[in-house]
Amino acid sequence: MMKDGVADTHPALVGRQHEMAVLWSRFEESTAGRLQVALVAGEPGIGKTRLLQEVARRPEERGATVLYGGASEAEGMPPYLPFLEALGQHIRVATPGEVLEQTGVMASVLGAILPELSLRLGELPPGYPLPPEQARLRLYEAVGTFLAAVAAPYALLLVLDDLQWADTATLDLLCHVARHQPEARLLVLGAYREGEVTHRPLFERALTELTRLRRLTTITLGTLTVTEMATLAASVLGAPLDPAARASLSTQSEDNPFFAEELLWGWLETGVIARWGGTFGLVPSVDSTLPSSIVNAVRQRLARLSPEVIDLLHTAAIIGRTFNGALLAEVAAQEAEAVEEHQTDLSHVPG
Reported as a single tens digit per residue, the pLDDT across 47-62 is: 999 999 999 999 999 8
Cα separation of 146 and 28, whole Å?
21
Residue 297 lies in a domain: no
**Final residue in a domain of this structure, among 292, 315, 338:** 292
Q: Residue 63's domain is classified under what CATH number?
A: 3.40.50.300
Residue 298 lies in a domain: no
**Final residue in a domain of this structure, among 204, 220, 236:** 220
Domain limits at 84?
17-220
Q: How many CA atoms within 13 Å lie on the side-chain side of 195?
A: 17
61 lies in the same domain as 207: yes
Cα separation of 226 and 176, whole Å?
42
Find the mean pLDDT for residues 168-190. Answer: 97
Q: How many CA atoms within 13 Å lie on the side-chain side of 282?
A: 13
30 lies in the same domain as 158: yes
Contacts of residue 30, Cβ cutoff 8 Å, sequence gap at least 6: 36, 151, 155, 184, 185, 186, 187
Pick the residue with more confidence: 236 or 198? 236
Alpha carbon distances (Å) from 76 to 71, 73, 346: 12, 9, 29
Look at the chain and report how many structural domains it folds into: 3
Residue 299 lies in a domain: no
Range in 16-25, 99-108, 204-213, 287-296 the model is least confident about: 287-296
129 lies in the same domain as 23: yes
Residue 300 lies in a domain: no
Confidence tier at 2 by pLDDT (50, 70, 90): very low
Residue among 286, 211, 303 nearest 248 (CA)? 286
* Percent of residues, the chain, with pLDDT higher than 90: 63
Burial 261-276 (b: 16+ CB within 10 A, else e): bbbbbbbbeeebbeee
State the DSSP H helix or E strand holding residue 7, giving kind and residue range, or none if neither. strand 6-7
Asked if residue 1 has pLDDT above 50, the reply is no
209 lies in the same domain as 243: no
85 lies in the same domain as 203: yes
254 lies in the same domain as 340: no
**Final residue in a domain of this structure, among 220, 254, 273:** 220
Helix (H, G, I), strand (E, B) or coil at 62: coil
Asked if residue 180 has pLDDT above 60, the reply is yes
- Class of residue 300 by CB neighbours under 10 A (exposed 0-12, middle 13-18, buried 19+): exposed
Q: How many CA atoms within 13 Å lie on the side-chain side of 301?
A: 21
Do the Cβ atoms of 127 and 163 come closer than 8 Å?
no
267 lies in the same domain as 337: no
Alpha carbon distances (Å) from 106 to 33, 99, 153, 161: 22, 11, 19, 27
Q: How many CA atoms within 13 Å lie on the side-chain side of 349?
A: 25
pLDDT, tens digit, 9 for 90 and up, residues 114-143: 999 998 888 877 767 778 899 999 999 999
182 lies in the same domain as 237: no
Phi-psi region of 104 (alpha: psi -120 to 50; beta: other; left: phi over 0): left
Residue 137 lies in a domain: yes
pLDDT of residue 297: 54
pLDDT, tens digit, 9 for 90 and up, residues 214-241: 999 999 999 999 999 999 999 999 999 9
Give the number of other CB atoms < 10 A from CB of residue 185.
26
pLDDT, tens digit, 9 for 90 and up, residues 252-286: 999 999 999 999 998 988 899 999 889 999 998 76
288 lies in the same domain as 309: no
201 lies in the same domain as 329: no
Residue 278 lies in a domain: yes
132 lies in the same domain as 281: no
Residue 84 lies in a domain: yes
DSSP 8-state code for residue 5: T
Confidence tier at 5 by pLDDT (50, 70, 90): very low
Burial 21-30 (b: 16+ CB within 10 A, else e): eebeebbebb
> Global pTM?
0.80
Residue 165 lies in a domain: yes
Cα separation of 72 and 54, whole Å?
22
Confidence tier at 195 by pLDDT (50, 70, 90): confident
pLDDT, tens digit, 9 for 90 and up, residues 242-255: 999 999 999 999 99
157 bridge partner residues: 66, 187
Burial 224-246 (b: 16+ CB within 10 A, else e): beeebbbbbbbbbbbebbeeebb
53 lies in the same domain as 36: yes
Asked if residue 4 has pLDDT above 50, the reply is no
